[in-house]
Chain A
């Protein structure tokens, strides 16, 4: 949501109030503050192109191309790591179908799927969403993804950190699949801290 002018006193009072809220109250408060929760609730107008029990797809009001769609979870999540596995599974099946709809319905020659977690990644809203952008040749969109060659010692260092966080070498064999899942489930407890850090609570 847009920045609001509030005095330091008001901010302090608000922070105190937030601290004393129960998780349920906090959830309600977030919902009231979030423009996308207001859109989902029907309090703010939008151009819905798809809706089911878990998701809503809207035309982006600042489209990169005609037909640029944002897909939202009805539940308020700030960032994707907070989503339970079943929500991730559902939302990306819808993403695939929306992409397909663009290829068939509006003569898109390709699509981009983009999720941004955190302000540093370009996230602007405090509600998790997936962008699906229909693409055509020479449409003027130019995403910049630089290429940087990693040194061998960094490949080992960074790779091993990720490997360990994903469940270690054991997870590289299929019988240890559940173990990796368990590990990620346990790490969910850190997510509140992460989203605070990201400034998208």
Chain B
């Protein structure tokens, strides 16, 4: 099942050199390539070499590396392309605009009036709506804070401390994977 998902994944094919790409950074866990159909010249993708459809499935250690690399790519865009700004953008899940079932970080060079828009109109919410969402999120964020660590000793500790509920259950994972299968 997992292998079939990989075979049909365009990102996995880029990583496996089946589809050619312009690589700008590569290490054991991650690859960064130029998006040749990007929003601006220099638009890059940073992705894990392992196949994870959504961010919640990416282990903490890989999250660390991927965003550190994204920050370096963003710095390189400033340094070498003379960009006036950069965006780091993740679309996690189909309703969020994700188009490929492989977790990807977009790093986008920006200039004034370049036609990109990542702003959104503020929504008017009632006091009650705000308090409800605040309470519900607070209930969840109680579990945050015990991260998987690379250090062996820390890893052991983290394994015991990390609350099970913070991971996606099999059913939830199934939901998101199913959602991803709807992708072209």
Contacts and interface: CB of A to CB of B under 8 A. Distances in A.
B34 to A, nearest CB: 5
Most buried by B among A91, A111, A156, A172: A111
Task: Give the contact-size bracket for chain A.
Answer: 35 or more
Interface string B44-75: 10000000000110101001101110011111
Contacts of A16: none
B98 interface: yes
Interface in B103-121: 106, 108, 110-112, 114-121
B85 A97 contact: no
A139 interface: yes
B81 A143 contact: no
A110 B27 contact: no
Task: Give the contact-size bracket for chain B.
Answer: 35 or more
A188 to B, nearest CB: 8
Interface string B121-156: 111010001100110111111011101000000000
Contacts of A85: 68, 71
A51 B139 CA distance: 13
A73 interface: no
A92 B67 contact: yes
Given A69-B137, A115-B88, A148-B40, A159 B123 contact: no
Given A103-B56, A120-B111, A194-B78, 20 more contacts: A50-B138, A66-B125, A67-B133, A85-B68, A88-B68, A92-B66, A93-B60, A97-B144, A98-B144, A100-B140, A101-B137, A109-B94, A109-B95, A115-B89, A121-B110, A122-B117, A158-B42, A162-B73, A174-B27, A197-B84
The 7 closest A-B pairs by CB, nearest first: A110-B93, A118-B85, A121-B85, A110-B96, A101-B140, A62-B122, A165-B76
